Amino acid sequence: DIVMTQSPDSLAVSLGERATINCKSSQSVLYSSDNKNYLGWYQQKPGQPPKLLIYWASTRESGVPDRFSGSGSGTDFTLTISSLQAEDVAVYYCQQYFSTYTFGQGTKLEIK
Amino acid sequence: QVQLVQSGSELKKPGASVKVSCKASGSRFTGYAMNWVRQAPGQGLEWMGWINTNTGNPTYAQGFTGRFVFSLDTSVSTAYLQISSLKAEDTAVYYCASGGNCSSASCDEGYFDSWGQGTLVTVSS
C-alpha cells in the first residue's frame, strides 16, 4: 500500500499569513500514461464531512477560493493557503488515488 | 454532481449488527464507485472499500473483510454498509463518498467529489 505522510501534524498561522502543508507519498503517484498526479486535498471542519479542495495535485475544485493552491509531483506535494482566513481553521488531508486509496494522517490548522 | 444523504446515528450493543444507508440524488446512480470511509473518534480517514454501482460488485480494503458488507438497491438509488458482530472498536463515523468511474467490468480510482454527511455508529453495552 502507498503510505501518505503529512507534515506538520499541526500548524498555527496568523490571519492573513501563508499556511503551507506538505504531503509525501511512499511511491510516486504520477501516472506516466496521462502525466497526472493522482493526489487530492480535502478540508474537514469539526462535525462536517471532508470537502474536496484540490484534485490532480493542482486543480482547484469548483467554488474553492483561489487562496487555496496545490503543487508538487511524483512523491512530494504541498497545499498552500496564501492568506489565512478564520474560516480556514480545519483539518486538512491529502489522499492518493493512484492505487486504491490512502489518506495522510491529517494536519490541524489553527489561528495563531 | 451527486448529493448523498446518509441514515441517522445508531447505538448498538456488542455483537449486534447495523446497516447504514446512503441515498444518492441529483445525478444518475450508476457509473461510479460508491466508497465507504471510516473515521474513529478523534482520528483520521480510513478507506474501507467501494462498490461498483453498475454491477454491485464490492471491493474491500484490508481490514474490512468478513464482517463488512456493501450492497446496493438501485431502485431507490441507495447504497448500504452492513457491519455484523459489532465490537467497541467499530465505534466511528462512517461516510459514503462517490469517486472513480466504473464500467461493467471494473472501477478506476478517482477523487471523492461528493460525501454523505456521515453516520455515527456507537457500540456500547
Contact predicate B2/B98, CB 8 Å: yes
Average pLDDT, chain A: 97
Reported as a single tens digit per residue, the pLDDT across A56-105 is: 999 999 999 999 999 999 999 999 999 999 999 999 999 999 999 999 99
**B112: contact with A, CB 8 A cutoff:** yes
CA atoms within 13 A on the CB side of B43: 15
| Residue whose C-alpha is closest to residue A92's, from A37, A39, A52, A63 | A52
Reported as a single tens digit per residue, the pLDDT across B65-88 is: 999 999 999 999 999 999 999 999
Contact predicate A111/A84, CB 8 Å: yes
**B31: contact with A, CB 8 A cutoff:** no
Whole-number pLDDT of residue A109: 98
Measured between CA atoms, how close is B100 to chain A, in angstroms? 9
Which chain A residues have a beta carbon less than 8 Å from that of B110? 97
| Residue whose C-alpha is closest to residue B47's, from A79, A70, A93 | A93
Whole-number pLDDT of residue B5: 98
Residue in the structure block whose three cell numbers are 469539526? A46
φ/ψ of B74, rounded to 5, equals: -65, -25
Reported as a single tens digit per residue, the pLDDT across A12-51 is: 999 999 999 999 999 999 999 999 999 999 999 999 999 9
Measured between CA atoms, how close is B86 to chain A, in angstroms? 23
Whole-number pLDDT of residue B105: 84
The reply to whether residue A93 touches residue B35, judged by beta carbons under 8 angstroms, is: no
- Which residues are CB-contacts of B120 (< 8 A; sequence separation ≥ 6)? B9, B10, B92, B93
In this prediction, residue B8 has a pLDDT band, given cuts at 50, 70 and 90, of: very high
φ/ψ of B76, rounded to 5, equals: -125, 15
| Long-range pairs of B45-50 with CB within 8 A, sequence gap ≥ 24 | B45/A42, B45/A44, B45/A50, B45/A93, B45/A95, B45/A103, B45/A106, B46/A103, B47/A100, B47/A101, B47/A102, B47/A103, B48/B81, B48/B94, B50/B100, B50/B107
